[in-house]
Amino acid sequence: MLKKLFSKSKKGKHSLEVEESLVNNECLPSHIAIIMDGNGRWAKKRAMPRIAGHHEGMQTVRRIARIADDVGIKVLTLYAFSTENWKRPKSEVEYLMSLPQMFLNSFMPELMERNIRVEMIGDKDGLPTNTKTALNEAIEKTKNNTGLILNFAMNYGSRAEIVKAMKDIMVEVNNGNLTLDHVDEKTINQFLLTSSLPEPDLLIRTSGEVRLSNFMLWQLAYTEFWFTDILWPDFNKDTFMEAIQAYQQRNRRYGGLKGE
């Protein structure tokens, strides 16, 4: 039976296949955000180095992007590297920073064929040159594509994003371009890194962790959460479709009463 809000799925590779035909195409989540977690644990379980888990996780990104595109999702935001991840061992960080170039170079022909647009949220200036170059090139090459938006959260931290938005608003107020009376939720949304995107309808987190980890704290105010014990490299089509089906069982009230 599908779980309700804050539910956790424990289904794995051997679960019954979730049929695409059971998904209601008329109420698909427009924007799905995923906290991809468990690469290191996946590798440890196999007595492999952590970077092997990150490499396999990159392959999962490719598979899930294809499925999201096939299903008709409009935006897929993937939490790829947080502002806190710099605390990890230098060798692991260096490998993580090399993944965007590896991924985007190999996936670019298919991104263009599928009409997928690459975007990024986060502090791009704080990234190594090769990482930043790879992202900039992908964003430029795909900027005219009109299909799925594949949005990477790189060097991203939600609190830093909100602080920057507040500072930028204060500058506008001090310069006389904005008055305090006109600072509302809509104004704040316009100063966030996600200003051009709809707020996420569904948040998925893998690996059994049940927290947000400084991810899109403002934007997730009315998002439906779905957690699974499955590690990110093992996340597959069945699990993705199960999450979408669970979302479609929810009654999104936005503070109102059921049925309103």
Alpha-carbon distance values, 251 to 4, 20, 31, 201, 256 (Å): 10, 21, 17, 12, 10
Segment holding 68, helix H or strand E: helix 50-71
Say what the pLDDT of residue 257 is. 59
Is residue 37 annotated as a catalytic residue, yes or no?
Answer: yes
Residue 224, annotated ligand binder?
A: yes
**Quick check: is 105 catalytic?**
no
pLDDT at residue 3 above 80? no
Instruction: Name beta bridge partners: 76.
Output: 32, 150
- Which residue is catalytic, options 24, 37, 144, 234? 37
Mean pLDDT estimate for the chain = 91
Please compute the mean of the pLDDT values over residues 82-90 and round it to a whole number: 97
Give the pLDDT band of residue 2 (cuts 50, 70, 90). Answer: very low
Does the annotation flag 122 for ligand binding?
A: no
Phi and psi torsions of 136, nearest 5°: -60, -40
24, 25, 85, 125: which is the annotated catalytic residue? 85
Residue 252 annotated as binding?
Answer: no
**Is 218 marked within a binding site?**
no
Question: 88 labelled as ligand-binding?
Answer: yes
pLDDT at 259 over 60: no
User: Considering just the CA atoms, what is the radius of gyration of the chain in Å?
Assistant: 19
Tokens of 239: 């699990």
Long-range contacts of 133-139 (CB under 8 A, 24+ apart): 133/101, 134/100, 134/101, 134/104, 134/105, 135/100, 135/104, 137/104, 138/100, 138/104, 138/108, 138/111
| Residue-level pLDDT at 10 | 46
Structural domains in the chain, sorted by start: 7-15+24-157+200-248 (3.40.1180.10)
Q: Has 42 been labeled as part of a binding site?
A: yes
Per-residue pLDDT, averaged over 90-109, amounts to 97
DSSP, collapsed to helix, strand or coil, labels residue 126 as helix
More confident position, 26 or 142: 142
- Can you tell me the distance from the alpha carbon of 130 to that of 137, in angstroms, rounded to the nearest whole number? 11
| CB 155, CB 124: distance < 8 Å | yes
Q: How many CB atoms lie within 10 A of CB 95?
A: 18
Q: In the prediction, which pLDDT does 16 show?
A: 40
CA distance readout (Å), 259 to 234, 241, 252: 37, 25, 9
* Structure confidence by residue, pLDDT tens digits, 113-167: 999 999 999 999 999 999 999 999 999 999 999 999 999 999 999 999 999 999 9
